[in-house]
Structure formats: C-alpha cells, structure tokens
Chain A
Amino acid sequence: MSRTIAEQLALVKQEQRLGFMTHVVIGHPSLEETRQRVEIMAAAGVDIIELQIPFSDPLADGPAIAQANHQAVANGVIIEDCFVLAKELSNTVDIPLQFIGYYNTVLNYGIEKFMADCVAAGIAGLTFPDMPIDEEQYEQFYYHAQQAGLPVVQLVSPATAPERLQLIAEHATDLVYCVARFGVTGATDELNTQLGEYLDRVRQYVTLPLAVGFGISTPQHIQALHGKADMAVIGSALLNVPINKLANTLQPLCAALSVPPTNTIQ
C-alpha cells in the first residue's frame, strides 16, 4: 500500500530536502511502458507521480504532453485501464500516485463512481486543471473528493490575485501547485526570474507545502528552488526520455533535491 501525499511530504520534510514530483501519460507509449516508467521513477527517489488520464483535448498541455494524450487515446486507452494500472502500481510502489486529468472524463464516468474507484485503486490525490473552485457549486467535485478522502491539488499562477489566493487557500488540501510561468506545460531553458517573489506572495496566503512546475527540466532549475519551494515538478522534460535512459536522467535530478554545500540557504 502506497503512502498518502501528507505522509510523503512529512518524509521529505524530515529528510530536509526538496520533494520531487514527476508525470506520466497513461498509455504513452503503451500501458506496459507506463507501468515500467512509474516503477523506475519510484525506485530513483521520486516522491509523487502524476498519472495523467489521457484525454482528446488537454487544454493546459503543450505540444509534448498533448501529443502523448492523443497517442494514448488513439491506442484505445480508457479510464478503466487507468484504474487497473493505478491499482497494480499502488501495490508495488510506496510513494503516492495521483491522477491528473480533465473534468470531462469524470463527468462522463460519473463523479461519485470516479471517486470510489480512485479510492479502490489506491489513488492518493487528484489534479483537474479545468475544474476551478468557482464551478464547485455547479459540480460538487471537491465535495465528492473530500467525501472520498481524496485531496485535490489546486493550481495557482503568477497572475492569481490575492483574493483568489485566499479563496484557493481555504479549499486547498495537502499541497498547492504553483505554475511557474505563463503558458502551457512544456520544458524551457530559463526559469521565471520572478519566481521567488511570486512564491513569497503565495506563501502570504497558503501555509501548505508548495510544488512548482511548468518549464522545469534541469538539476539547475531544481537547485534554484531550494529555500523557495517544497517540491519540484518535472513533466514534459521526462516524457520522451527513452525508458533505458530514464534512470540515468533521473539520477542528477534527484541528487539536486538535497541542499548542495555550495548553495546553503542564505
């Protein structure tokens, strides 16, 4: 049985390092390879893995992840496959696995059944970027997640206004995901230079641990998050790394999670 997000975050804190979240698109390039990639990530020292339920129209995803979604959909990967894989993996890895996806999948599946099946599959949390808190009164997504005991990881962006940060803080559980820059998912060379300022602003309202993602791809990026964030998220940059190179690619990234002696917090 894998740990909860809260348990994993407590562990990260105890080890006095940054946490590390990675991402896979279920069924890209195949269900079997997704399973292997998750196991490699878990063994390498990743703390949380986002399992993306493939969808035809992934609004917040840039070309790399969008193409992976389209490929998985074309391969015929459906939500039932995602539950089967999640159940299998939550028995074989210790770290929390969370679903990331788009709300239309849940709407079609049935919201209560979705939550129940997530719990049965050992899923530790949910991220649904197109289900903002404003629509809760119409959808009861957060309500049903809470009833099922599933944390919903909320997103904030550099443009999120103070009143909204407040609102999000009130509904957030376990972890808040700070989108590092404007735009969609995708690897970039440069990290947002105003990241520190932005995360300070978020911290005025949010007391939960902060994960930072979008555009993070290198050990240098991760190092730059020390003292600012609690967790680094890498998605696109790992997506198309061949499986036989994945462990080697993860190694320096995981090494960067501990505070390097030359870069102790000022």
Chain B
Amino acid sequence: MKIPKTLFFKTQFDADKQGHFGEFGGRYVPEMLIPALDELNAAYEEAKHDSVFIQQVLDLYKHYIGRPSALYFAERLTAKLGGAKIYLKNEGLNHTGAHKINHCVGQALLAQRMNKKRLIAETGAGQHGVATATVAAKFGFACTVHMGEVDMERQAPNVQLMKQLGAEVIPVKEGNRTLKDAVTSAIQDWMGDPEDAYYLLGSALGPHPYPTMVRDFQSIIGMEIAEQLQEREGVGVLPNYLVACVGGGSNAIGMFNAFLDVPEVQLIGVEAGGTDIYTPGQHATRLASTPQLGVVEGYKSYFLQDEHGNVEATHSISAGLDYAGIGPQHAYLHSVGRVRYESASDNEALNAVKTTSHLEGIIPALESAHAIAYVMRLAPTLVPDEIVVVNVSGRGDKDQHILKQYL
C-alpha cells in the first residue's frame, strides 16, 4: 500500500498533458479563453513545484481552514445500521462549513501569484460562493459570484453571507437558472476580463487545468483519512469503502485521489436521484443508465442531454448536486470501472439528514446526505469488521429553510 504523503502527487488515473483523462476532459473552449487557460496552466505547473507555495497552502489549510477535519466514528449510526463500522469525515467543520474552502485557498494563492485583482466564481449551493467570497476578503480581491436565481432562492442564507463578505452576487436568469447556467455566466464574465480576473471554478470540471487543479487542492481529504484511520484502527488499516456525493465531483475526487492506486479500497460516488431517475428533468444522475458523451462548458464528459445534444434540465433537492455534467475524471473512473456510481433520491437524502442529526448530533448538508443515504443501504449488507468512510462534505446550516418544509 502506498498512500501519498505530499500534495500534488500522481496516480495512474491522471490526465495527459492536454488534460485528457482517457477520452474525457480537454479544453473545448473558444479561442478567447485559450490565452487565459494557458496562463493559468503555466502558473499552476510552476506553483505546484515551488516549496514556498506548497508551504503556504499547508499553512492556510491548518491555520485558516482548521485542518485536519475530524474523522469521527459514528457509533450510534453504526449500531443502528447493524453492519460495517461507519466513520464520518467531517468537512463541515472547516471554516465556511464545507470542503469548498480547500480549493479556494489554493486557487486564491495562485491568483495572488498571478497578480489578479478580481475573483469570479459560480455557485450552486452557495458553499463555493461563500468560500470564494471569504478568500477574496482575506486576500483583498474584488469578488463576483454568479448564481442561478432558483439557487439564490433556495440557498438564501448563503447569498446573505456572500454579500456580508463583500462579494457582488449576480443573479443568473438564463436557462434553468441553476448551477450550469451560473458556470456559463461566470466563464463569460472571465472571457470579458481575462487580464485582471481569475476564474475560481468550484468543482473538478470545466476546461483543463481545472479538473486536475481542483482535485489536487482537494486531495488533502483522502490523505488525512488514510492517516487518521490508522491512528484509530491501527497501522496499515485501510478503509473498505469510501463514499462521497458527486455533483461536479470535487469532494469525491478529493476523497478518492489518494486511494486510486490502492485497489483494495472500494470507491463509491453517489449522484442525486431526485424524484425519479428514469424521467428527464427529475434527477441529476448522469451515470445511471446509458451515460451520454458530450462537450459542454469547455470539457468532454457525460452530460444529461437529449438525442440532439441539447442539455436537459436537472432536479435535485440539493442545489450543489443539481448539475447536468460530471467532472471528466469521474467519467473516466466510471468508464474504467475504478469507481462505482450509485444514486440516492431526494427522500433518502432527507431521511439521512434526519437520521444523522438525531443519532450523531451532526447535521449534514443535503448534498452530503446523499452519500450517507447510500451508506444506510450499504452498511447493513457488510460485516462489522469492514470500515466505511463517508465524506460529510458540508454542514447543513444553509439548508434549514428547505428542511423546515420536510422534517
């Protein structure tokens, strides 16, 4: 077993030089963005080999975010499910309440190195927007967050937080008015101001180098799990299963990356099943039946789309998973069978929030609750000496007024 001990490690599932993971990924963008992406890629390649930069990232992880985040043994949940031992990796304890801050500090440091003046971000659940507004304040950048109108409504507390942190929040009125439309709007904002603006993408998707870079800044999650689990369970002990929710894929790839080359560890991504995974528009399960290859928003991956290649509407109770595409490395990991993808419905996620709150005193974000919901199905089928680690990618404070309607 070889778990990486330093940031920016390589695995056999990495992209090629042009950002292709097998047939997925790449950089399918208009010429107007190529110079900006070239500049970003060069800056990133240089930074990740610079020990000063690496130390800056690690210092912020520790002193600003409060890492390592706890790996918590969920004793009562384990007892109730009556199978495998369940650990929660609690990214909800991070500053700003989710894993998103991990890639935000990394990218903000990079933007500073590149002498940028303004951070642009898209956001779905608002967690990435809040985390971006936070690092913008800390580093003294101006900040513009693009957010679909539907999401502004359902994640209103985060809109307020972003404004309080000094960010401008732009309501996106195009299309479905959710995450995908916010991504397009943010990319277009960047296209108009490539010199001064840094586009701080919030998931492991988009054109190269974002899927790789966001993953690298998130990989600390898995690295910590490897170490923390050995402290709790003994030297050399590996988890049997790692489970994470998958919107664009940042928290999941951050959890999985350090274990990709350890085949004994089974990796499971959980997509949003919405209300009905067989009806277009009612879910965001891209890998469920027959995944459809596409090129949208600058990258090649699987997208929910109709037979003419137009992207379909999606639905999830969680804004952060309500997205028609999936990060290209996930598409690749799916195609080669290294990661298994499952889904959990809106109702299962709500039930998981309730169960985890009542049994453990931990209120997970609705996104993370999809991963827990799947574990509630999985754990009873396993034996007590098997270990399941589930990524609680964020805490549920932002979801209170949605939960109020259901619980």
Q: From known contacts A130-B298, A183-B188, infer whether A154 and B311 are also in contact, taking CB-CB under 8 Å.
A: no
A108 and B188 contacting across the interface, CB-CB below 8 Å: no
- Closest CB of chain B to A254's CB: distance in Å? 28
Is A182 in contact with B309, judged by CB distance below 8 angstroms?
no
Chain A: residues with CB nearer than 8 A to chain B?
Answer: 55-57, 59-60, 62-63, 66-67, 70, 73, 78-79, 102-105, 107-109, 129-132, 134-135, 138, 154-157, 159-161, 164, 168, 179, 182-184
- Determine whether the beta carbon of A130 is less than 8 Å from that of B295: yes
Residue total for B at the interface (Cβ-Cβ under 8 A)? 39
- Whether A57 and B31, one on each chain, are in contact in the complex, defined by CB atoms closer than 8 angstroms, is no
Known interface pairs A103-B28, A155-B32, A156-B31; A78-B308 also in contact (CB < 8 Å): yes
Residues of chain B contacted by A103 (CB below 8 angstroms):
28, 295
User: How far is it, in angstroms, between the C-alpha of A179 and the C-alpha of B192 when the chains are bound?
Assistant: 12
Contact B175 A183 (CB under 8 A): no
Interface residues of B in 1-32 (CB under 8 A from A): 18, 20, 23, 26-32
A-B residue pairs in contact (CB < 8 Å), sample of 9: A59-B184, A62-B188, A73-B310, A78-B308, A129-B31, A132-B31, A134-B27, A138-B300, A182-B192
The 8 A CB mask of B172-190 against A (1 = contact, 0 = none) is 0011000010001001100
Please tell me if the beta carbons of A55 and B188 are within 8 angstroms of each other in the complex.
no
- Least Cβ distance of A97 to chain B in Å? 21
Inter-chain contacts of B32 with A (CB < 8 A): 60, 155, 157, 159, 179, 182-183
Given contact pairs A160-B31, A179-B32, A184-B192, A104 touches B295 in the complex (Cβ within 8 A) = yes
- Is B262 engaged at the interface, CB distance under 8 Å to the other chain? no
Identify which of B23, B27, B32, B188 gathers the most chain A CB atoms within 10 Å of its CB.
B32
B296 at interface (Cβ–Cβ under 8 A)?
yes
- Residue of B at shortest CB range from A181? B192
Tell me if B168 is interfacial: C-beta within 8 Å of chain A.
no
**Residues in A neighbouring B29, C-beta threshold 8 A:** 59, 130, 132
Query: Quick check: A182 and B28 within 8 Å, CB to CB?
Result: no
Q: Which residues of A contact B188 (CB under 8 A)?
A: 59, 62, 183-184
Given contacts A132-B28, A155-B30, contact A182 B194 (CB under 8 A): yes
Residue B34, interface by CB 8 Å: yes
Question: Is the Cβ of A105 less than 8 Å from the Cβ of B309?
Answer: yes
Q: In the assembly, what is the distance between CA of A67 and CA of B184, in Å?
A: 13
Kindly identify which residue among A70, A102, A109 contacts B175, using a CB–CB cutoff of 8 Å: A70
Q: Apart from A78-B308, A129-B31, A179-B31, list 12 A-B contacts with CB within 8 A.
A: A57-B184, A63-B174, A108-B308, A129-B30, A135-B18, A135-B27, A138-B23, A157-B31, A159-B35, A159-B36, A164-B34, A184-B191
A135 & B26 in contact (Cβ 8 Å cutoff)? yes
Q: Closest 6 CB pairs between A and B? A: A108-B309, A183-B192, A56-B310, A159-B35, A129-B30, A155-B31
In the assembled complex, the Cα of A102 lies from the Cα of B298 at a distance in Å of: 11
Instruction: Evaluate whether A105 and B308 lie within 8 angstroms (CB atoms) in the complex, with A132-B28, A179-B31 already known.
Output: yes
Cβ-defined contact, B305 with A108, below 8 A:
yes
List the A side residues contacting B303 at CB < 8 Å: 104
- Closest chain-A Cβ to B387's Cβ sits at a distance in Å of 40
Tell whether B297 is near chain A: CB-to-CB under 8 Å.
yes
Q: A59–B174 contact, CB under 8 A?
A: no
Contact status A107-B31, CB under 8 Å: no
Nearest chain-A residue to B303 (Cβ)? A104
B280 at the interface (CB under 8 A from A): no
A184 to B194, CA, bound (A): 12
Most buried by B among A66, A103, A109, A134: A134
